[in-house]
Amino acid sequence: MRRAVFLDRDGTIVEEAGYLERLDRMVFYPYSVDAIRALNRAGFAVVVITNQAGIARGIVRESFVGEAHRHIAARVEAGGGRIDGFYYCPHYATGTVKEFARDCDCRKPQPGMLRKAAADLDLDLSQSFAVGDRWHDVGAGTAVGARGILLRTGLGRREEASPQPDVQPAAIVDDLAAAAAWILEQR
Ligand SMILES: [Mg+2]
Ligand SMILES: [Zn+2]
């Protein structure tokens, strides 16, 4: 079994942009590819898990999510890194697109996407990390026994200012580069 680092997408790998629905609005943080490659080289599976309620809300086309993820994968590969899997939750309980307007077990902080990835990729969740700019990113990780790291990019500073008593991060750091460095120091 491999250890994994689960990465949120928006506000973590690329800039938070509200409901990202066009490639020309997607902006990589300058350190994202290097951070992912460093985690790859240390033997971690790197898995992107992202809530995409914009699909259920009729704002984001589901086909665009695939397109965006192919674009991210290609950008990372061009920099010598690899993303082992992409998982997204298209649901939202009060969405307007009937097919996706429901409760689910995959919308973070629910850990459904992490469990699915663990089954697909043979991951050891207890030795893994979940990284993101929202408390729900941390909570989805701690729900399965992984360690959670909150970033101050994206919406992270606002989140840091409103601690959640039931969500305990292992660390709060400035950005994905700092999170990768922190993870690599734990060994
Ligand atoms: Mg985010
Ligand atoms: Zn879902």
- For residue 132, which ligand has an atom nearest its CA? 1
pLDDT digits (tens, 9 = 90+) for 71-130: 999 999 999 999 999 999 999 999 999 999 999 999 999 999 999 999 999 999 999 999
**Active-site entry in 10, 133, 137, 175:** 10
**pTM, rounded to two decimals:** 0.97
Tell me the per-residue pLDDT of 129-149, one tens digit each, with 9 for 90 and over.
Answer: 999 999 999 999 999 999 999
Identify the pLDDT of residue 82: 98
Ligand 2 centroid vs 183 CA: distance in angstroms?
28
Candidate list 8, 84, 137, 175, residue with the active-site label:
8
pLDDT of residue 80: 98
Task: Give the Å distance between the CA of 11 and the centre of ligand 1.
Answer: 4
Percent of the chain scoring above 90 in pLDDT: 99
Of the bound ligands, which one is closest to the alpha carbon of residue 16? 1
pLDDT on residue 55: 97
Neighbours of 105 (CB within 10 A): 12
Q: What is the pLDDT of residues 34-50, one digit of tens each?
A: 999 999 999 999 999 99
**Ligand in nearest proximity to the CA of 13:** 1
Relative to the alpha carbon of 20, which ligand is closest? 1
Distance from residue 80's CA to the centre of ligand 1 (Å)? 24
Give the model's confidence band at 16: pLDDT under 50 very low, under 70 low, under 90 confident, else very high.
Answer: very high
Please say if 10 is a catalytic residue. Answer: yes
Task: State residue 14's pLDDT score.
Answer: 98
Average pLDDT over residues 17-36: 95
- Quick one: pLDDT at residue 24? 94
Neighbouring residues of 50: CB distance < 8 A, sequence distance ≥ 6: 8, 9, 10, 86, 87, 88, 89
How many A from CA of 65 to the centre of ligand 2? 14
Distance 155 CA to ligand 1 centre (A): 7
Q: Does residue 187 have a pLDDT over 90?
A: no
Range 151-159 contact pairs with CB under 8 angstroms and sequence separation of 24 or more: 151/11, 151/12, 151/175, 151/176, 151/178, 151/179, 153/11, 153/12, 153/15, 153/16, 153/29, 154/10, 154/11, 154/12, 154/15, 154/16, 155/11, 155/16, 156/11, 159/133, 159/134, 159/135
C-alpha 153 to ligand 1 mean position (Å): 9
- 174 included as an active-site residue: no
How is residue 2 written in tokens?
A: 């491999």
Task: Give me the pLDDT at residue 141, please.
Answer: 98
